[in-house]
Structure 1
């Protein structure tokens, strides 16, 4: 008998507008839209090995209320270059690149509905 194996965790975050979120992730963060189903309220974006799913909240207001409490964390290699890329694209930072006491260089981008998308790389 084989033991179960967990292979990937994929965050599922709320959005108030599938198309707006898709445009943001493409233009500001360099993600690719894998699948977009506006009629079914689902969006899948990816960049490298990172994948994020979005579900359509009942309204933009509800999406913002839920998203203000939502986040995901993406581990990165070469975070300084990614930070420079995001700065160039005009991504809205919750906080810019900083060394954290827990041994990570991190930054946070806030997407249009308030989901905190955090990026981090181990120091050293």
Structure 2
């Protein structure tokens, strides 16, 4: 028997998208998201492991180009390797930044910036 369901507050990014089908295709084929939690004509929820991203439909490109999310934790070295192998365009190098975080960046097709980071030497 499993224990009680954990009741906690979580922060879930809600990013703009110019085309939800294109967003879904990119995040699933290039970034390895495997679960479509919710899909409507104007809203999309995708999940990969412990990451859940929400997307809303907009026709304003500047909203996408000025939006970002920071995804922090272990496993980013493996993610960077995986994304490189999948041929993700607009993938930065993995490096230690001046603020002492090991990071890499990905821009999705509409301009949203995904920043992946961890404390250097982390798992």
For Structure 1 versus Structure 2, the TM-score category normalised by the shorter chain is 0.7 to 0.9
For residue 78 of structure 1, report the CA deviation from its aligned partner: 2.3
For residue 102 of structure 1, report the CA deviation from its aligned partner: 2.0
d(CA) in 2 for partners of 1:79, 1:112:
21
Structure 1 runs (4+) deviating above 3 angstroms are none
Unaligned residue ranges in structure 2 (runs of 5+): 1-6
**Alignment check: 8 A CA contact 1:35 1:44 kept:** yes
For residue 104 of structure 1, report the CA deviation from its aligned partner: 1.4
Aligned to 1:110: 107
d(CA) in 1 for partners of 2:27, 2:96:
25
The superposition leaves residues 43-81 of structure 1 with CA deviations (integer Å, 9 ceiling, x where unpaired) of: 001112111100000x2xx1x211111000111312221
Q: Per residue, is there more helix in 1 or in 2?
A: 1
**Alignment check: 8 A CA contact 1:93 1:107 kept:** no
Equivalenced residues, count = 114
- TM-score, with normalisation over the residues of structure 1? 0.84
Unaligned residue ranges in structure 1 (runs of 5+): none
- TM-score, with normalisation over the residues of structure 2? 0.85
Q: Per residue, is there more strand in 1 or in 2?
A: 1
| Aligned residues: CA RMSD | 1.6
Mark the CA change 1:94 to 1:81 in structure 2 (over 3 Å): closer, same or farther.
Answer: closer
